[in-house]
Structure 1
Amino acid sequence: MISIILISTPFLFYLYRLAPKADTWDLGFMILDNGGFSTVKVFVHALMTKLMFLIFTTIWFFTSKHWWRFSILIPFGLFFFQTTGVINQNIKYTEDFNFWSVVPMLLPILIGMILVSIKLNKESRLLDIREQISIEMEEIKQKRRAS
């Protein structure tokens, strides 16, 4: 699954090339506007750039087994903050917008990521233990057959 996501990221990033140099883009199921940028193409490019970093830091956090992986949450928070800035491009809102405004939205996401990471870590350890048990059982069976 992670491989598919990683393989698809260049295609997602270059999605902006399909966007028109207009104020709106009718996708059939929704209409996308320029979000305060000069054209929809510029908006999609800015959004995809930020989303790519969110995807990469999320995958990095979940796949890292090192003790320092929680420090990856710092750039994740920064990219989340920047992504919300791209999505909410109203001038008045941007002037009043700072990092502390994002914390209430970011905290549940970070807590969820930590909880999922802990669960995945436990599952990974269980799989390793099961593999070790099956290897030891095979060795015991081979010893009994040999004797």
Structure 2
Amino acid sequence: MKNGKLRYRRTGNRNLILGSIIATFIAATPYFFYLYESVPDQKTWETFLFTYNSRFYGGIDIVAWTLAGKLIPLFLLFIWFFTCRHWWYHVLIVPIAMYIFQILTVINDDIQYIDSNQIFYLIPIMIFIIPSIYLLRARIFNQLNTVDKSLQDLEDEFKISPKGIKDKMKDYF
């Protein structure tokens, strides 16, 4: 019995530490967003790691501002995806894919229009995600109509058991 309590205490402490780290990162996202202000206002930025030449944008600061506007919501969506226990959390893959595509579009300097025609690239993802979410919803409501369970009981039944981020990543890759 003592060993079981010790294991629970270690797991509880680990979850508390991980939750505190995630909450700190979420609270710090406004500061992460404004990191773009530390990027120089010029067309070429040379560092000891890389040299970046902005051909399409007016300056590197505009590229950094645009990327910050895409990376912060993507970061928050990833946190939501990996911590969500609801049955519908796979639908978050659609906006995640959209933001990843937008980031790739921003990085590609030869693109003329940012945020255009991306729906065509998201269609294959949406073709898989939307029907699977709808079928899961239909299954829930079918059980709701045939069984004396509340919607909350059914949602709890379809919730994914708590896993760490590492275990969730193993499920997908």
Shorter-chain TM-score: what band?
0.5 to 0.7
| TM-score normalised to structure 1 length | 0.60
What is aligned with 1:25? Answer: 45
Gaps in structure 1 of 5+ consecutive residues:
107-119, 125-147
Q: How is 1:1-147 mapped onto 2 (pairs within 5 angstroms)?
A: 1-34=21-54, 36-91=56-111, 121=161, 123=163
Paired residue secondary structure (1:32): strand
1:99 offset after TM fit, Å?
Answer: 5.8
CA contact (8 A) 1:35 1:43 kept: no
Q: Distance in 2 between matches of 1:67 and 1:75?
A: 17
Calculate percent identity across the aligned residue pairs.
Answer: 28
- Higher alpha-carbon Rg: 1
Q: Deviations over 1:90-130 (max 9, x none)?
A: 148x8xx85666899x8xxxxxxxxxxxxx94537xxxxxx
1:34 offset after TM fit, Å?
Answer: 2.1
| TM-score normalised to structure 2 length | 0.52
1:19 offset after TM fit, Å?
Answer: 1.4
Q: Distance in 1 between matches of 2:91 and 2:57?
A: 32
**Change in CA separation of 1:28 and 1:12 when aligned onto 2, cut-off 3 Å:** farther
Q: Distance in 2 between matches of 1:42 and 1:90?
A: 15
Cα RMSD (Å):
3.1
